[in-house]
Amino acid sequence: MVGMELPVMPPVSPMLAKAVKGIPDGKLSFEPKWDGFRTIVFRDGDEVELGSRNERPMTRYFPEVVEAVKANLPQRCVVDGELILVAPGGVRLDFEALQLRLHPAASRVAKLAAETPASFVAFDLLALGDDDLTQWPFARRRQALVQALAGARPPIHLTPATTDRELAGRWFHQFEGAGLDGLVAKPLDGLYEPDKRTMFKIKHERTADCVIAGYRVHTSGPDRIGSLLLGLYQADGGLASVGVIGAFPMARRISLFEELQPLVTTFDGHPWNWAAQHEGERPPRGSEYSRWNAGKDLSFTPLRPERVVEVRYDHMEGTRFRHTAQFSRWRPDRTPESCTFEQLDEPVSYDLNDVLGRS
């Protein structure tokens, strides 16, 4: 960033949203909730920095986005938005493929930039030229953003927005089929407040009955549960790893550890017995870890898959829960074999091109 001089300089923590159950009333602007990497773009001429939500720079991982920024954004600006990756065919988002873009090898970064290029969706303007816009109300910032991106072309996009609550409700249901994550509601008179939850997010919430097939211990001690590993049975009878439950009060982590000890088993005869050779490494699905936490040990203790739990989740990414599932209740009335993928809701298909306004 040698030579970069902007009225808003990196790093900046993005403004956040608090979860609400339904679409709120009031003087609000509604936008799709994009499922990607939250990114603030800083541009000063040929100097470009892509800052992440945790303030770590992502510039080196997305060289194609840097070039698109230079071609499409104003010469000096700071723009809040989301890095996304569109699946082959262009109809929905692919978060798993986006995660793979965070690779340490420069040669691999260049190859992935060509094979699976990312896009940037802009939804707020923090600075333009010499002006700091963070103290402007959002309605005024949005108007300035629309004008600033009037000539932008893919892979730079302006997020759709509406003040029509009824239309926002239709978006909430339609856009999920394109891989989006719900809605964000922004007060029209709201200032840009970094790291504060002054916006609202409305996400899909569903339930599923899953098999508990293992656990990981908590970082605070080996006698308490860190997370429970969830499985669903496939049509061929195999037990697929679909995600984890990880949020428990500390007292519950300790009692849960004691409660599950009678189910502890070996990998012999376990549905994930192939994981035995990786004990102490990263099973199950060892390649699927966060590159921000590459050193984290994800080994687990196998359990006899006899217990069923009802979990709350927002949506699926492939065959896994996109986010950590939430514990709802035990289901002693359900047999493990009845926990299949057939119970899951399938969102109505929707073309991502229609969301982005592409032909």
State the Cα angle at 142 between 137 and 145, rounded to 5°: 130
Contact 162/128 with Cβ under 8 angstroms?
no
Cα separation of 121 and 325, whole Å? 27
Report whether 81 contacts 121 (CB < 8 A): yes
- C-alpha 10/C-alpha 41 separation (Å) is 9
Per DSSP, 162 falls in state: B
> Cα 6 from chain centroid?
29
Residue 196 catalytic?
A: no
- Three-class DSSP category at 87: coil
Q: Which two tokens stand for residue 255?
A: 């009692």
Catalytic residue among 33, 111, 186, 201: 33
Tokens of residue 147, six digits:
């004008």
CA distance 143 to 137: 10
Instruction: Give catalytic residue positions.
Output: 33
